[in-house]
Chains A and B, each alone.
Chain A
Amino acid sequence: MILPIRSRVLQYLSTVDQACADDVMEALKVEYGDESQYKKTNFIDHLLNLEANGLIDQVSYDQDSKGELRIYYKINDYGIGTINRYLPKKWRVNA
């Protein structure tokens, strides 16, 4: 089963220490890369929404080689709890 993309972005953040939009895109390319929703603006939007809903936190930010803003995010306890309560078992985080 393929997760809805926003849920998958959240779930991916539970598997790494921290990640920026480019990292998330690269990691999820195999699953969603052939879909036209696979755009950086959409991934940035998913990350901003997850942050606005208190599921992930900003860790740091800088600029990439093109001068574009790069924000790194980390999942928090509420985000992990949300995954474990509401996503299918396969995607849950081992405590």
Chain B
Amino acid sequence: MEKEFASGMVPSAEATTLKTKLASRFRRNGLTNGLISGITFGLYSAIVGVAELHNPLTLAVGLFAAPLVASAINDTMAFIWLILFNGAKGRLKEVGRSFCTFPGLMVILGGLIGGPIANGAYLVAIALAGAAAIPISALCPMFGVILSRIVLKQKISKRVGVGMIICVAGAVLISYVRPSGSTSNFTLGIICAFVAAIGWGLEGTLGAFGTSMLDSNIAITIREGVSGLGFIFVLLPIFAAFGLFTQCLSSGIVLGIIALSALAAAISYLTWYKANAMVGVAVGMSLNITYVLFGVLFSAILLHSAITTTVIIGAIIITLGAILVSMNPLDFFKKKEA
């Protein structure tokens, strides 16, 4: 149907077709970015798992040192990958310009909350509450939606809301492991898991706010740089892991493996931020959470982890949720009828 604007001008049918195609391509790109963010985050998680099988990470003392050091090197290397990418695209000047603006400061805050704070809380949660912490952390899209509703006034349709709940349910099912007995600080661990989930939801919201006024390519570069520095200069000293960090820097094999995981992480965060800006936080985070599924699949390939019946059921649920978030299934049947 031709649309008449306030000026009284009626666009040609060809212009209308071109505009419809542009809008469809933009939405499709947003959804594709969200799905790629899930696939590459799953790949990143599995590759980090491989790195942690090599010395000196295998020799790490305590529960926190190895994952913290891996995260510190990973985020810093992801920053370097993104700097190279933006340099090749001629956008490096944008990094300095964006850094000093209010949206840039919000991206920095989001990076600190979603990076060192949420990841640190997640590691403490696993140490104190065991595997029970993992499904709770998978609730992050719910918090992202609540916060983006409050901060960004983003509204979501019933379909997206239901699809998101299905995605979260699938992620919880895949990551659920029956607790093997509570530790003395179990409740504190659960609280830390909620801190992580809220932190990642807040990062999604602050990132989406930042990228409404900043190029997503630049925002995520700032995020990874800030997160890497936060890990190196705040978390590593707190958890006495600086020594392991310097040992890893002189290990070619560990650096090589983490360079690969960092490339996957750089692509994942870049596409996640793009998706949140293009199709909204609810859809972006729901597609991103599919990383739980892809993480299991890549771990089965790279680490020979078992794929259980629960994982298969969770995979089917999360796929249905991702489809519901991305499109109205009724449209699919309408197109077939046409």
Contact = CB atoms under 8 A, between A and B. Distances in A.
Interface of A: 1-7, 10, 35-37, 46, 48-50, 52-55, 59-63, 67-69, 71, 82, 85-88
6 contacts: A4-B218, A36-B90, A49-B211, A52-B280, A62-B12, A82-B212
A7 B19 contact: no
A43 to B, nearest CB: 11
Contacts of B280: 52
A37 B213 contact: no
Which among A2, A4, A36, A67 has the greatest number of chain B C-beta atoms within 10 A?
Answer: A4
Contacts of A86: 101-103, 213
A69 B20 CA distance: 10
A93 to B, nearest CB: 14
Interface string B82-102: 000000011101100110111
B246 interface: no
A57 to B, nearest CB: 11
A37 B89 contact: yes
Interface string B1-15: 000011101011011
A62 to B, nearest CB: 5
Contacts of B5: 59-60
Nearest to B22: A69
A10 to B, nearest CB: 6
A4 B90 contact: no
Interface string B216-252: 1010000000000000000000000000000000000
A85 B5 CA distance: 30
A69 B26 CA distance: 14
Categorize the interface residue count of chain B. 35 or more
A82 B15 contact: no
Interface in B14-35: 14-16, 18-19, 22, 26, 30
Nearest to A7: B213
Given A6-B213, A61-B19, A86-B102, A52 B89 contact: no
Given A2-B97, A62-B9, 20 more contacts: A4-B97, A4-B98, A4-B218, A6-B214, A35-B91, A46-B215, A49-B278, A50-B212, A52-B26, A52-B277, A60-B5, A61-B16, A61-B19, A62-B15, A63-B12, A63-B14, A63-B15, A69-B22, A71-B22, A86-B101
Contacts of B14: 63, 67
Contacts of A59: 5-7
A3 B101 contact: yes
B80 to A, nearest CB: 20
A38 to B, nearest CB: 8
A25 to B, nearest CB: 15
B104 interface: yes
A71 to B, nearest CB: 7
Interface in B68-121: 89-91, 93-94, 97-98, 100-104
Given A5-B215, A62-B15, A69-B18, A49 B93 contact: no
A49 B12 contact: no
A37 B90 contact: yes
A10 B22 CA distance: 20
